[in-house]
Structure 1
Amino acid sequence: MHASTTTAVSEGAFASLFQELHDPAFLVDRVDGSFLAANQAAARLLGYSLDDLATLSPSDLHPHELPRLKAFLREVTTHGRWQDDNLTCRCRDGSFVPAEARATTLHVEGRDCILIQLRDLRGQKLAEVGQSVRKLSHDLRNAMTTAQLLADRLAENDDAQVRKSADVIARSLERAITMCQQTIDAGQIASEAPCRERFLLADVVDEVTATMVMPSGLGTQVVMDDADEDATVLDADFDQIYRILLNLVRNAAEAGAQTVRIYGAREDGRAILTITDDGPGLPDSIRENLNREKPDLSEGSSGLGLMICCELAARHGGAMSVMDSGPKGSRFRVTIPDAADAV
């Protein structure tokens, strides 16, 4: 914004109205396309101060789509008003905000101007993503229901191994169908409270093993060690503990581990699980994130499965941490307090 032009919109009734606009707004010189003014809402949206914005122009906020910006300003100038919901603004931190831009021409203090108002579309975009997720989950649920019916047929097979495999398949499908239903109901995977029951660690490890290890014995081997002769008891949600162990075993397998050892013990009203693998170790960035008090679940696919494990343990009032990780493998510690001792 040029010093000689800012006075024209810094005082008077128009300036007061301009600053009180609920939506972010800019006043642009119609001739040279420079900013004449911006309101506080615009500064908040983009992370700039008004002084910062005084040194910028529309092209600084849209460097990634200059042709579209020029076409937008040209249409406003030609028709007197225009609307475009395809513009995105670059914020001070480098992130981008999708926005609907509405503009109109006007005359302020002897100067031909363009008033541009923005509407933040991030909430709308998230709602659209949520709707798409619900639709996808609905179709996945239907597909898995069909697979579950086929698993039920396999359960009647004469071969005992086939019947055992069919039982594991049926339970896995049931978990998946439940998660799909939660997604349909809430638009996101619900942070459901644990449905606690008492069960042996050996039982859930058997199910993880049946899921991960091929009948031929090929692939990553899961070995159960137990301080109490296969009798470590958990007071927890069976399915959520299964998800924790399955994520750890699957991640180790995908990284190239040959063996995953699961050790269980009880101490002071809680179950303590130690999961050790002989894989290549975790990247430092993932390890640091997991050992935070509140792991960041927004970091995408990089370590997401492990971060979900942290969240599932936290739902029980427990925690998961990385005890050791290096070229010779990783060791995780999962603590699950009994219901009476959970925070």
Structure 2
Amino acid sequence: MEKRLQCVDKLPGLAIGVLGVPAALIAAYWWNPVLSHDIAETFSIIVACGVFMLTWNARKFIDNHYFIFLGIAYLFVGLIDFLHTISFAGVFSAQHHSDSIELWFAARYLQSFALLAAPFFVSRKTSPSLVFAGFLSASFALAGMVHYGISPDFYVAGRGITPAKHISDIIVSGMQVLSIGLLWRVREKFDPEVFRLLVMSVIFSVAAELSAVVYMDAFVYNSVIGHYFKVISFYLVYKALIETGLVRPYDLMFRNLKQSEEEIRAARDGLEMRVAERTAELRAANIRLELELAERKRAAGMREMILDLLQRTGTAGSVKEFLSILASFLKERFGTDAIGIRYNRGADFPYLVTLGFSQEFVRAEMSLCPLECTCGAVISGRFDPSLPCFTSNGSFCTGNASELLAESEAMKTIVTRGRCVRDGYESIALIPLRLGDATYGLLQLNDRRNGLFQPEILAQLERIAENAAAMLARLVARDALRESEDRFRSLVENSSVGFLIVVNEQIIFWNQRLERLFGRIREGLPFLDLGEAHPEDFPNFGKLCGAADLPVSNGKDAVIRFFIPDSGTGRREVRWMNCRANPIVFRGRTSILVEMVDITRVKELEHAVNVREKLASLGQLAAGIAHEIRNPVSGININVSTLDTLCGRAEGLDPDEREKIREVIAQARAASNKISSVIARVMGFSRPAPPRLERVDINRILHDSLSLPEIANRRRGVEFRERISAEPLYCRADAALMEQVLLNLVMNALQAMENGCATKLITISAAREGDRAVLRIGDSGPGVPEHLRNKIFEPFYTTRKEGHGIGLSFCHRIVIDHGGGISVGASESGGAEFRIALPLEEGRSPA
């Protein structure tokens, strides 16, 4: 009702504003259009300056910097509007020019920019001085552009309005419409009435601008509608900022503060109500807390008692020792006259521990079946739950056994069979040692005093019995596990198969068979350090560690050769192991069970059979060669020697012809010697002999090999690059055989580069890699295809037309007999590279 009366009071003023202002502007327009224009501009200038003065003087108190930014901007908008007003044709000069129009648009662009940018400072703080300086600079720049003719022409004398004016009208209108959208996004930061007035102000400003679009006269605001819209726009700015700031400052400059005060007031009222509610809750909680504290105190006492029991029984190694400690604990805690503990022995529950009972009492009780007395009812769990002496947990308790016996005929049937009452025990407690469905025994506490076992004491006894049953279960399980482990360990330790368990690539269990094979093994030894695997088998050795990632039903098999020192001679020998790795769970962790079977004898037999078969074929071949070739070759050698002798004795031969004959003889002798050499190599390969191992320096063998005439005579045109280790590389090797291996490899490299190699390069290196001496012989020839690298060491396999397939197999056999390995790959120059790895003596090379 009050708001309605206020609206009625405002109607006269509103009518004057709505009707009087348009009437005054229309009258001024008809009397003098310039005067109408100046009135409208003067009103807007006054409002703009008023907004600035209000916001500038209150800038330290305004928490919404939107108003500070807009107030400073409106000052300079008003100043440019003032320049526009005094430059209008007819004010100081009757001559029209376009400066007035350009100043008009300068003010509108500045106003539109301010309306667009101001919403970004609603929640951000700004520096009024910097904003003032920025708008001052922008105003000078805009005025300077007009004065010096830099701004576009909006009017040309004789032609009228230019398209630039219409475009600017649209741009200014678009910017102001966009500012409404930005203002809408932060509307919750403004008083609703202030927000509506600001939006309406921008709408009328857009309307004033668009009214100028359809008006083609040079006088920008020569229309009554344009005047009226601009006056309304600035009047709404006045209402939103000046009037609200003066009449209702808390709705404008201090709105956030006002909202905070209202929230605090509402919070205070709600707080008083919540305090009252909370007080009632605290009283109730206090009562609950007192009860809970009492319960916690009882629980803490019980927990201390159980912890004490656990500490005492923690070292018990057997069930009897545990029960003895338990009986002493109960005697100390409760001070009863007698304590007995029955323990499950199959179908019987005899006393295993007693304290305070006479020997006669124990013998008499043991002579009876425990199921024929109250103990039997408690142990079996078959009792009448309606009887007051039995608890819900199946325990029996009485504080006056004789009175109970006299009052209850049902109890008389199960109590009189024992001796407790006859021996004068009045307070009796029988507590089962039960865990789940398993009954491990019975606690029996007797005392001649009446009423000893109150409900709280009985609850403690039942709690102790519950924990004791759990401890007994663990002891029984531990004993069963220990027995099972002993059986398993006996089987494993006496097995002829080597067993080990690997966790995180470290050995945590092994049997004696493995120690007999590999020597002393320490716990935590890395699995890959168990023994020195053959270089060719090392990848398979490493893959066994990945068996933990396989499904439990799968496993990984590998046959691996190990170099194991002989316990008698100390010399290393190759042992073949058939290994199988299976993933298992050991002590709660994912592990690998590795089984190792020594199949060295089987492999030796297989190797002997293979060698015998190959050597048999090679022997047959060698015998055929010896029979078919050696005799003719001998005849050729005799004839060549005879021819050489006759040539030397012949008289009258021309020296040149004699020399030619001698060259032919030399070629024939060389061919014959080559045939003999091939025969000798085949025969030698068919009769393998063990190497004569001695301590030698591989560097020296390499140097001596490169000095052999076979290599030295063919160095011409070939670049040799040697990288020899600075330290000696001592190995146990047969120097003569190793020289033959190196000679074969270098000769093969020279032969590989004979055809079509622009650059002939042989690289030879010797270096220490871990506990091995590694020799590399590389060339720049065509190399060995990858798919043939595993075949070239087989006897009789060759990739050259003139080859025999013997040389590399000969080298392979010698290196293997030395406990090393030989392989082929690609060299840095693109050819083949042969790698020989020999074990250093005692695993290292001395400095």
TM-score bracket, shorter-length normalisation = 0.3 to 0.5
* Structure with greater proportional helix content: 2
The normalised TM-score by structure 1 is 0.41
Q: TM-score, normalised by structure 2?
A: 0.18
